[in-house]
Structure formats: C-alpha cells, structure tokens
A and B are shown apart, each in its own frame.
Chain A
C-alpha cells in the first residue's frame, strides 16, 4: 500500500461528458503528480502541484485541468471526453519537489469512454 488513494477505481462514461478524478496523497507529501497511461503505452506526465501551486506541466490537453486543495488532495477534471481519453490515470505523490524524492503511485482510475 503506497498510501496514495485514488477514487473512483473505475469510471465508465460517454463522449462529450465531464468527469473528476480524485487523489489523496501520502500523509506528509506536498507534491502531487498526474499521469495518463493508455493501453500498451508508457506513462505520460500531465501536471504537478506542490503545496497548492502548479509546479510543472506536461502534455496536458486544454480540455483537462487540475487543482490541489489546501488539505493537499488533488482533482483532475476531464471535459468534452473523447474515445481516445480512455486510459488509466495515475496520481503520485512525493515529499517535496526536489529531485531525490521517489514518487509513490496510487492504484489508478481506469476511465472508459463509450
């Protein structure tokens, strides 16, 4: 158990809809990272937050947005969903935003777009 909690575990919805994925980091971790992993593909970094502030951005689509709240939990919002958005979405956390901290991953949210 990594200590990172993601909800829901599975989500099935239709094209054009909007969903919110939630992540609670490990106790004491200030950084939260979001990744997308499509079938048979590697992890694609989406965005990082550190203590409530956006710190780094990857190839995140404009239809996607995220935020980190004062209690450090984070949400990833996906809107105008397309079939290609079907993927496993991972949240990870680390103690800070320095390079020597490994990231601890949640079990992911499997998003299926019908």
Chain B
C-alpha cells in the first residue's frame, strides 16, 4: 500500500523560510516529486529527488532520505505568491501517489 503524510496547513511570514515535511510508506519507490498548486489551478512541477540528499533550485530546495521515508521542501525568502498547496508525490512503477497537500499561507 501507499501512505503519504504531510501537514495539512502551515503559516509563515513574508521573507521568512519554511520547511514542509513529507513522510511516506510505499511498497516501492522510484522517485519523489514536489508540486505547487494554487487554488483551482493545475499543479506545477517544483522539484524531483531520486537519490538521498538536497536538490536546490533557486528559492526552493528539496531533500530526500530514502532510508527514513522522508522528504522536505524548503522555501526561502517567502513571497505572497508562494501561498498555495504543496503536494508531495511518490512515483513507483508508473503510478504517482500524491499526499493530500500542505496549504501554505504567507502573511505580510
């Protein structure tokens, strides 16, 4: 079976740093994706991890520990437009299992 856990909601201040955690228990693992989804819009790809470690992409970084079944998305220098839902997805054998998403609210 597949089980992915993320916090439901988080709040942070503009200009700050926030870390969104994702833990997973899956029957197989080929990679982990992070997507951003604004309300009523399509998800957009942020990052991908297949090996342990940190992947950095501008203000966004993602970390993976396969032995711990754990990933996080780090957002730096938060902007108001970063208010959105952040989805963690585990890919295995053609199937992507998404977490329910973390709704991030950025306040001035």
Consensus secondary structure, chain B interface: strand
Q: Give the residue of B87, B96, B99 whose beta carbon is less than 8 angstroms from that of A33.
A: B96
Shortest A6–chain B CB gap in Å is 9
Residue of B nearest to A54 (CB): B94
- When distances are taken between beta carbons in the complex, the residues of chain B under 8 Å from A43 are 43, 87, 89, 98
Residue of B nearest to A49 (CB): B94
The reply to whether the CB of B21 lies closer than 8 angstroms to some CB of chain A is no
Binds A, one of B10-18, B44-52, B66-74, B75-83: B44-52
Complex formed: what's the CA distance from A107 to B37 in Å?
11
Residue of B nearest to A90 (CB): B42
Binds B, one of A13-21, A61-69, A73-81, A94-102: A94-102
**Cβ of B98 and Cβ of A100 under 8 Å apart?**
no
Complex formed: what's the CA distance from A50 to B95 in Å?
12
Complex formed: what's the CA distance from A99 to B96 in Å?
9
**Cβ of A107 and Cβ of B97 under 8 Å apart?**
no
**Cβ of B42 and Cβ of A105 under 8 Å apart?**
yes
Complex formed: what's the CA distance from A56 to B97 in Å?
12
Shortest A103–chain B CB gap in Å is 7
Shortest A67–chain B CB gap in Å is 17
Interface residues on B, range: 20 to 34
Interface residues on A, range: 20 to 34
- When distances are taken between beta carbons in the complex, the residues of chain A under 8 Å from B31 are 99-100
Complex formed: what's the CA distance from A42 to B33 in Å?
15
Shortest A91–chain B CB gap in Å is 9
**Cβ of B50 and Cβ of A105 under 8 Å apart?**
no
**Cβ of A2 and Cβ of B100 under 8 Å apart?**
no
Q: A99-B31, A100-B31, A105-B42 are in contact. Are A42 and B87 (CB under 8 A)?
A: yes
**Cβ of A103 and Cβ of B100 under 8 Å apart?**
no
Q: A58-B95, A99-B91, A102-B48 are in contact. Are A42 and B43 (CB under 8 A)?
A: no
Interface centre among B43, B50, B92, B99 (most CB of A within 10 A): B43
- When distances are taken between beta carbons in the complex, the residues of chain B under 8 Å from A88 are 40
- When distances are taken between beta carbons in the complex, the residues of chain A under 8 Å from B43 are 43, 90, 105
